[in-house]
Amino acid sequence: MNLIYIIDILGTFAFAISGALVASDKKFDLFGVIIIAFVTAVGGGMLRDVLINAHPINWIGDLNYLYTIFTAVLFTFLFKSKIAHLSKTMFLFDTIGISVFTLLGLKKGLTFNLHPIVALIMGMISAVFGGVLRDVLTNKIPLIFEKEIYASACLAGGIAYLILNSLNMSENIIFVLSALVIVFIRIIAVKFKLQLPKIKDDLFTKN
């Protein structure tokens, strides 16, 4: 079991908890909580695999993802009142998780001989669409559409990976450096409350 796989599982755990917390706050029953935790944790990777026709689909080929999700749901039910105090830890896991999901999705796209731009999009889908599905199913505006710099961080990290990969560097070094780009951008964006510009007025708007 290598380090990247362990981080992948930790990211899955963090994503599943975030889904379980949202579903719990919406007063979903146990089945509903499990479903929301599931789509949050593996929905992005599953969508990616469907789009590129990769089989077996991520969680079907590795049941450890399912075990991780069930563990996260149980953890949430037992310790929900305490998890709020772990917000910084969960944010770190979430940030590391999206960095790993982005790069693993990108690598998988390249393995399937997709154009680098398409592979980059697959990496972003892997990282953010679980959260999009969670928010849509719980009747919320997806976070990536209104607040934090999230998908943009994944995009920057993916571009860094493609650039470094063209330099024939060590795969491990490329992965770590690219992941750090995503982590750094996320931390800075949240710390300083940075957001992408929004379209409010255009050239024809009257003052």
What's the confidence (pLDDT) of residue 130? 94
Query: pLDDT tens-digit profile of 129-157?
Result: 999 999 999 998 887 776 668 889 999 99
pLDDT at 147: 62
Give the model confidence (pLDDT) of 94-129 as tens digits: 888 899 999 999 999 999 999 999 999 999 999 999
Neighbours of 176 (CB within 10 A): 14
Q: Which residue has the higher pLDDT, 78 or 205?
A: 78
- Residues 30-55 have pLDDT tens digits of 999 999 999 999 999 999 999 999 99
Task: Output the pTM of the full model.
Answer: 0.89
Q: pLDDT tens digits, residue range 156-173? A: 999 999 999 999 888 889
pLDDT at 199 over 80: no
pLDDT at residue 29 tops 90 = yes
The residues spanned by each domain of the chain are 3-191
Per the prediction, the chain carries an average pLDDT of: 90
End-to-end CA distance of the chain: 61
Residue-level pLDDT at 207: 60
